[in-house]
Amino acid sequence: MLALHGWLDNAASFYKLAPQLHNLHIVAPDLAGHGQSSHRPGQTAYTPWDDINDILAIADHLGWSRFALLGHSRGAIIGSLAAGTFPDRFIGLGLIEGMLPEPALPHDVPLQLASAINGLRAQQQKTPSVYTNIEVAIKARERGLFPLSNAAATALTLRGVVQREGGFSWSSDPRLMAPPVLKLSREQLAAFVNRITAPVTLLLARDGLPKLYANYLAEVESFSNVDYELLDGGHHLHMEQESYTVAEKLNRFFAALSNKHISA
């Protein structure tokens, strides 16, 4: 199974969940520009389309013609888009707090592109923040867009910093902070999900995306091929005490997949 982390996170996202998942060979890479992976060359933007190509290359290298995918947040988005593009490659999708990116109206596309290019140019001019010691960096990670416990923030920070003169900086590529180059319409995004043939389970947090986006649950419920559950916790519930509930749900889902795959 391939496990994909979220935006500005890294493979340590699964440090607490992975040991609780049974009978699975889990490969959790740092996506390009994150953690200990290289940054993309040149001045290009980061897109899920390039990430889809990357994860298929990883699967090919491992000799996996078909595989299951576990994804959190942006990793879940990449997974659902990949499974809608290449449905025959996927056995099943276990998604946590993510399925599709935010849609856009067609007439907003030129403005979105302008915003992305301006954002890329601005990020390349910025001086990286430097934290005097690792504890300061961990505290900054705790206070991010989605608050984290000290243990979760520590796991992500230790894999997500580089040492430099004066302290530590984030290892992630600053270009990841730029707005997306392209946003698809609601109809285009739905076409990806509707093309997925593998079973899909989506675990959402009460204090996560459904709280952040008013119509999120209604959007999810519009897809008949997606089973979802609403659990207590925040956006990174799989890294916190709720990880036990997440593991229980995923173990049941992947065990059923395995039994179905064996009987077939």
pLDDT tens-digit readout, 94-141: 999 999 999 999 999 999 999 999 999 999 889 999 999 999 999 999
- Does any domain span residue 26? yes
Query: Domain residues for 229?
Result: 2-112+184-263
Contacts of 112 (CB under 8 A, 6+ apart): 104, 179, 180, 181, 182, 183
- Does any domain span residue 39? yes
Residue 263 pLDDT exceeds 60: no
Q: What is the CATH number of the domain that holds 30?
A: 3.40.50.1820
Whether this model's pTM surpasses 0.85: yes
- Does any domain span residue 214? yes
pLDDT of amino acid 21: 98
- Does any domain span residue 99? yes
pLDDT 10s digits, 51-82: 999 999 999 999 999 999 999 999 999 999 99
- Does any domain span residue 152? no
**What is the number of domains present in the chain?**
1
pLDDT 10s digits, 144-190: 889 999 999 999 999 999 999 999 999 999 999 999 999 999 999 99
- Does any domain span residue 49? yes
pLDDT of amino acid 61: 98
